[in-house]
Structure 1
Amino acid sequence: MNASQSPGRFADRDVVVTGAAHGIGRACAVRLAAEGARVAVLDRDLAAAEALLPQLAGTGHRARAVDVLDDASVRAAFDGLAAHALVHVVGLALAQGEFEESLDEEWTANLDLNLLGAVRCTRAALPALREHPTSAVVLVSSINALAGLGSEAYAASKAGLGALALNLTRTHAPHGVRTNVVAPGTIRTRVWDGQPGMPDAWAHWYPLGRVGEPEDVAAAAAFLASDDAAWISGHTLPVDGGFLANVR
């Protein structure tokens, strides 16, 4: 599916995308703008966020700096922003040792970034989201949350997003706010820079014959954020090229 097949799904709507200056977040911002959204591009890298604005289709976009580890920064970034949808992308697999030797600090760092970062941003967005009869939150997780692939601290922090979506559905869907999760497989982003042959070396694990592109995730996020998913909430959608079929 490309944007030309579903024009205007976000016409006259405001969408906030976190981690929007690079990778999956950037692809989400581009996709949503192409479908008519006014995009708030939030990222710790404000210069890159501002550089993206003239590349987005349409008008009314804005860039703001945000550090999802700092609640004050998050609240300042969301202050005054209109939002029909939030697409929260920020996340990273932070290093940890083998489980037996892993440190509390490593677990705390993963949970703080990947789970609490999503909590802070969703919490800050909710007042604006609830101003509309229908709105959406899309959280970006990982297939590590759905399969035993190691990186236990990262996997646990991402798995928490599924539980968060379920519980937010119970409490906020009655107010028109849907919450869903996208769980990507291996995606070609800058995390692979400096690793020759990667991530394509993982392609043989994927029945569809390739690793994912940021645009694959953006298409799924746009669907879940749109009215096309108006009766979907509390679910985790793997975007994994069939990977889970190989490990289940």
Structure 2
Amino acid sequence: MQRFDGRVALVTAAAQGIGAAVARRIAAEGGSVIVTDLQEDKVAELAAELGDRALAVRVDVTSRADLDAAVAAGVERFGRLDLLVNNAGACVVTAMPEDTTAEEWHRQLDLTLVSAAQSIQAALPHLLKTRGNVVTISSVNGLAAFGNLEYSAAKAGQLAMTQNFAARFGSSGVRFNVVAPGTIRTPNWDNQPDALDRLAKLYPLGRVGEPEDIAAAVAFLGSDDAAWITGHTLPVEGGVLTGPSALDLTPKGPFRKEQ
């Protein structure tokens, strides 16, 4: 028996990258998947790839009405909802932090933090019925200072939000956890061909992450293997939070330590 046999997940921002990898992983482990995104054609292609156990729905995650409609469509199709994967969000590059306008702050918070809260609100009545769970894709930016202030603040807000939901609904059997990725090779980097090679040098494991690395973590936290884990943030980040790679600090050539 696979971990998601008989279970249904809804994945936001599933058109590509991490979201698509998560949907494929859940389907590969026997689950049905509601794949949502503004890019309607791409999620339709993904649903066609996954077959009868997938449903594609166009969703603007900043619209509560869209989120409610997607949940309703998924429950009508599959009869239940067991897992919500909050993957939507984007790093909106703005001015220097001291010059960021209120409108720019609201844009980032709405897209990354408020949308996650509204997704949970839309899914929660069904998750209470199934004693399901939520996995939110945050970032190491929510755990340490890597720049992009507004994005980082929104990602940090997801951690606090998750802990509060976990405390509030733990007695109902609904779990809430976070995966915090480091740099992941997604289409967002396609126009910066050398950037990932440079960033890989910062990671003790010597590479940036792949979407499948995050999908594996989501599958763990979203399954019964993590039945006693809630309110937790799981960094999946190649060791970057331990500090930059020590490779460049290794002595080159003959080395003699003086006593």
Deviations 1:79-102 (A, max 9, x none): 242211111101110112111111
Partner of 2:59: 66
Percent identity among equivalent residues? 48
Unaligned 5+ segments in structure 1 are 1-6
Partner of 2:242: 245
Paired residues of 1:95 and 1:106 also in contact (CA < 8 A):
no
CA distance in 2, matches of 1:44, 1:200: 30
CA distance in 1, matches of 2:197, 2:108: 26
1:200: Cα distance to partner?
A: 2.1
1:226: Cα distance to partner?
A: 0.3
Counterpart among 189, 207, 213 of residue 210 in structure 2: 213
CA distance in 1, matches of 2:117, 2:9: 17
Return the TM-score normalized by structure 1: 0.93
Partner of 2:152: 155
Partner of 1:30: 24
Partner of 1:131: 129
CA distance in 2, matches of 1:170, 1:194: 41
Paired residues of 1:50 and 1:63 also in contact (CA < 8 A):
yes
What is the count of residue pairs matched by the alignment?
239
State whether structure 2 residue 140 is matched by structure 1 residue 143.
yes
CA distance in 1, matches of 2:193, 2:36: 30
Return the TM-score normalized by structure 2: 0.90
Deviations 1:33-80 (A, max 9, x none): 000000111111111111012322x63211111101111111111124
The residue identity in structure 1 corresponding to 2:196 is P
1:167: Cα distance to partner?
A: 0.5
1:165: Cα distance to partner?
A: 0.8
Deviations 1:121-142 (A, max 9, x none): 111000111111x311000000
CA distance in 1, matches of 2:189, 2:198: 11
The residue identity in structure 1 corresponding to 2:31 is A
State whether structure 2 residue 112 is matched by structure 1 residue 114.
yes
Q: Which has the larger radius of gyration?
A: 2
CA distance in 1, matches of 2:200, 2:181: 14
Paired residues of 1:8 and 1:35 also in contact (CA < 8 A):
yes
Paired residues of 2:12 and 2:19 also in contact (CA < 8 A):
yes
1:31: Cα distance to partner?
A: 0.3
SS in 1 for 2:243: helix
Partner of 2:69: 76
CA distance in 2, matches of 1:29, 1:227: 17
SS in 1 for 2:11: strand
Partner of 1:4: none
Paired residues of 2:27 and 2:53 also in contact (CA < 8 A):
no
C-alpha RMSD of matched pairs (Å): 1.2
Partner of 1:97: 95
Partner of 1:49: 43
Partner of 1:235: 232
Paired residues of 1:27 and 1:218 also in contact (CA < 8 A):
yes
CA distance in 2, matches of 1:200, 1:214: 16
The residue identity in structure 2 corresponding to 1:86 is L
Unaligned 5+ segments in structure 2 are 245-259
SS in 1 for 2:110: helix
SS in 1 for 2:14: coil
State whether structure 2 residue 3 is matched by structure 1 residue 9.
yes
SS in 2 for 1:231: coil
SS in 1 for 2:201: helix
